[in-house]
Amino acid sequence: MDVETIRARLSALPISEIQYLPETYSTNDDAMAWAQAGAPEGVVVIADKQLKGRGRLGRMWVTQPGTSLAFSMIFRPTLEEIEKLSLFSPLGALAVAVALEDLGLSPEIKWPNDVLLSRKKVCGVLAETVWMGSHINGVVLGIGINVATGSVPDSNMLLFPATCVESELGKPVDRLSLLESVLRHLIEWRKQIRTERFIEEWKKRLAFLGEKVTVQKPDGEITGRFQDVDEHGALVLSVEEQYHTIFAGDVKLRPLEE
């Protein structure tokens, strides 16, 4: 990858600026700093290797050079979008899922922010809020995708089984074509982020919906039926005829082992 090739391949998309880094700590950190310094909507930071890729809740994300995709995009949400800011993480997952479907794959979304192929994690999404004093003035959406075989970390580093796009597809995948496709779907679906259709399309790809699951929260576990998601993307769990609404960001979801 080099910046000229990336710019040429993404030239048809409404992206305001592209930064390519062969190596960085975290593209989300870079994009957050750039957003705080006033970068406009549509800036994208792409790296070939991350030294300190981040997941949620202080967890790590592994990005191997030459085989993974790691990038972050800056959004400047409208006031109406700020009311539903929690939908930016689903936006990332939906864009990746649709891009994988375009390749002929059948991805699922593991609530709220993972994309799975054959029930193994192929992509993680990290949405972070940019604050200006006490006001929200941006979202940085970071996406990591395992593309080729070397991108999949050792299983002892993982909380959940992982895979990569090429293993599932059985043939090579061009990283820049996949990047272009994800960004295109991201930009298109963002226009619909407040619509019912957006939630429906996200929901229809959710893994474990209707199944019995255990949700792990920092304050303990809760088991019930994954009943639904609400208009903010929160998970609705039914436990003994009572509904519990669980918000994104502080939970993990696993199928119940039985």
| Residue with Cβ nearer ligand BT5 (141 or 209) | 141
Distance CA 42, CA 103 (A): 25
Q: Which residue has the tokens 């710019």?
A: 7
Q: In angstroms, what is the minimal distance from the CB of 7 to ligand BT5?
A: 19
SS (H, E, C) 177-228: HHHHHHHHHHHHHHCCCCCHHHHHHHHCCECCCCCEEEEEECCEEEEEEEEE
The least CB distance from residue 196 to ligand BT5, in Å, is 26
Nearer to ligand BT5 among residue 146 and residue 181 (C-beta) = 146
Rounded least distance, CB 203 to ligand BT5, Å = 19
The structure tokens 């259709």 sit at 197
CB of 59 or CB of 204, closer to ligand BT5: 59
Min CB(153)–ligand BT5 separation in Å: 5
Residue closest to ligand BT5 when measured from CB atoms = 124
Contact between 231 and 199 under an 8 Å Cβ cutoff? The reply is yes
Of residues 197 and 252, the one with the C-beta less far from ligand BT5: 252
Name residue 21's amino acid. Answer: L
Q: Report the 10 Å Cβ neighbour count for 58.
A: 6
Comparing CB distances to ligand BT5, the nearer of 111 and 189 is: 111
The residues that touch ligand BT5, with contacts defined as CB under 6 A, are 26-28, 50, 53-57, 59-63, 70-72, 113-114, 121, 124-126, 142-144, 146, 153, 158-159, 162
Least separation in angstroms between CB 8 and ligand BT5: 22
Residue 81 backbone phi and psi in degrees, to 5:
-70, -30
